[in-house]
Amino acid sequence: MTDARRLAKSNQEQAVAAWIGHLNQLRLDTLLSGLARQGENLRDALSIIDQAVKKIDLEVVTTNRGGTKGMHGFIAEVAEVGIGNAQRRIAGAEPVYQWVNDNGPVDLLREGVAIQQKFVAAGGRLGLGAITEHLQRYPDYVKNGGRYQIPRDHFDVIRDLHAMTPETAATTLSRSGDGPSLSDWKRVQTFFGSGAVDIDSLEPSHLDYREAQRGAYEETLQSEKDSLKQTDEGRRRDLHDDSRPGLQEGIQATLLSAAVEGGTALVLAVVQKRRDGKKLRAFTADDWVDIAGAAGLGAAKGSVRGLTIYSLTNFTATSSAVASSIVTSAFGMAELANELRRGEIDELQFIENCELFCLDTAVSALSSLIGQTLIPVPVLGAVIGNTIGTVMYQAARTSLSAREMALIAGYARAQRELDESLSADYAQLIDELTASLSDYFEVLERAFSPDVLTAVQGSIELASTVGVKPEDLLDSRAKARRFFLD
C-alpha cells in the first residue's frame, strides 16, 4: 500500500472513530446539562414551597385572616399556588399559578384561566352549595371560562356520584352511615341536572380538605417537598437512562462505519486500477468484481470497526481514537498471521512487522487525540491531527530507517571481519594446544610407566612441565634423601 493510500485509509478510520466519539460526547454533554438544569429545578421548586409556607404564616395565620371558620380557605389558595408552581418547576416548566388575593370572584389565575376555590365542608354538600351561591352572584362566571376548584377528596366523590346510574345508586349507596349516601347522589344529580354547571367546569385541588387546615398545612407542604425530591430523583434516573448507549445508536454507528469504510475501499480500488493505466470505460466484468469485493470487504471491516469502537468507548475507558487503532492493529496482525501460515514470512518477520504495524496505529491514535484537543471541531481536528502526525512520523521513520540500515550494514561488515580474524587466531591456538597436549600426554605416559626408572624420569619431566621450580625437583639421589630422611 502506498503512503497516500495508507494516509487516506488512516484518515477515514480516524474520522469514523472521531464521529462515534462525538456522538458519545453529545450524550454525555446532554446528561451533564440536564443534571445541572434539574439541580436548578429542584432548588427553585423547594424555594417555592418555602415561600408558600412563609406567606401562609405571615399573611394568613398571623393576621388570623378568615377567622376560625374561613382561614383554611386562604391557606388552601396559597398552598395551591405554591404546590402547582413547584410541581411545574420540578419538571422544568415555568410557574403559571398566581394568587389574586383581592376578595373578588376569582381566587387564582392559571395561564389566564380564572379559578374560584371552594373548600367548604359545612352542610355535607361537598362545596356544591357554595358554588351555587357564587353563581348567583356571578352568573356569567362559567360562561366566561371560569372554573371551580374543590378539595381533591370531595371531587373524587362528586365524580363517582355523577357517573353513577340510578340502578347502581339504589343498590350500592346507603341511606345513612359512613360514605356517600343516596341523598348525596340525588344532590349531585340535581346540581348538574340544572345545566348551570358542567362536570368539566370543576377540577380537583392538589389538596384534600383536611390538608388545608390550620395545624396541618406545615406537614402537608413538607410532604410536598419530600414528593418533589422523589420526583427529582426519578427525573435524574430518566436522564441517566436516556444517556446510556443503546442498540439503535450502536446500529447507526455500525452502519455508518460500514458505509464509509466500504465507500473508501471502493474509491481506492477504482483509483488503483486507474493508476494501473485502465480507463473507466475499459473496466471489465472481472475488474468490477474485484472492486465490488474490495468494497464488500471494506464494509465488513467497517461494521466490525463501528461496533467495536462503539462498544469500547461506551463500556470501557477507551477513547475512540485508541479503539480504532486497536481494531486496525487486530486486522493487520490477522493479515500477517495468514502470511505466516502460508509461509510468505518467517516468525522473525512476523514479530517485526507486528511491532511496526502497532507502532503505526499508535502514532495515528496519538496524533488524532492531539489534533482533536488542539482543534476542538468534531472529526476535523482528528483528521488534521492524524494527517500531520502520520506524515511527520513516516518522514522520520524513513530517515531513521535509512540511517539504521547503514549502521546495520557497517556493523555486519565489522562482524564479518572480526569473525575472519578470530577464526584464524582460533585455528592457530588449536594447533598450539594440540601440540602441547601431545607433549603432555607423552610426559604423562612416561610418568605412569610400569618401569620404575622410566616412571621416575617421567615424573621429573611432568613436574617440570606443570611449573615446579628446578630446585624443588627430586632429580638426584641427594635431593631425594634430604626430602624423605631429613
Amino acid at 44: D
Highest mean pLDDT among 149-158, 174-183, 290-299: 149-158
pLDDT at 107 over 70: yes
Ramachandran sector of residue 97 (left: φ over 0; alpha: ψ -120 to 50; beta: rest): beta
Share of the chain above pLDDT 70, in %: 62
Most confident stretch, 5-9, 89-93, 167-171, 254-258? 89-93
Q: What is the pLDDT of residues 163-190, one digit of tens each?
A: 999 998 888 887 666 678 888 899 899 9
Residue 433 scores a pLDDT above 80: no
Residue 357: is its pLDDT beyond 70? Answer: no
Q: What is the pTM of this model?
A: 0.62
What's the mean pLDDT in 364-369?
Answer: 56
Could you give the C-alpha distances from 51 to 40, 44, 100, 457, in angstroms and in order?
Answer: 16, 10, 16, 127
CB 206 within 8 A of CB 213: no
Q: Give 368 or 135, the one with higher predicted confidence.
A: 135
CA atoms within 13 A on the CB side of 338: 5
Averaged over 85-106, what is the pLDDT?
93
**Average pLDDT of span 88-98:** 94
Q: Is the pLDDT of residue 320 over 80?
A: no
pLDDT the model gives residue 99: 95
- Does the pLDDT of residue 388 top 60, yes or no? no
Task: Label residue 467 left, alpha or beta by phi (over 0 means left) and psi (-120 to 50 means alpha).
Answer: left
Which range among 92-96, 323-327, 410-414, 426-430 has the greatest average pLDDT?
92-96
pLDDT tens digits along 434-483: 776 666 666 666 656 666 666 666 666 666 766 667 776 666 667 766 76
The rounded Cα 263 to chain-centroid distance in angstroms is 28
Q: What is the pLDDT of residue 391?
A: 47
pLDDT at 386: 45
In the predicted structure, residue 364 carries a pLDDT above the cut 90: no
CA distance 214 to 75: 8
Residue 393 has pLDDT above 80, yes or no: no
The alpha carbon dihedral of 407, 408, 414, 415 has a sign of positive
Between 471 and 67, the higher pLDDT residue = 67
Q: Please give the grid coordinates belonging to residue 95.
A: 410557574
pLDDT mean across residues, the chain: 77
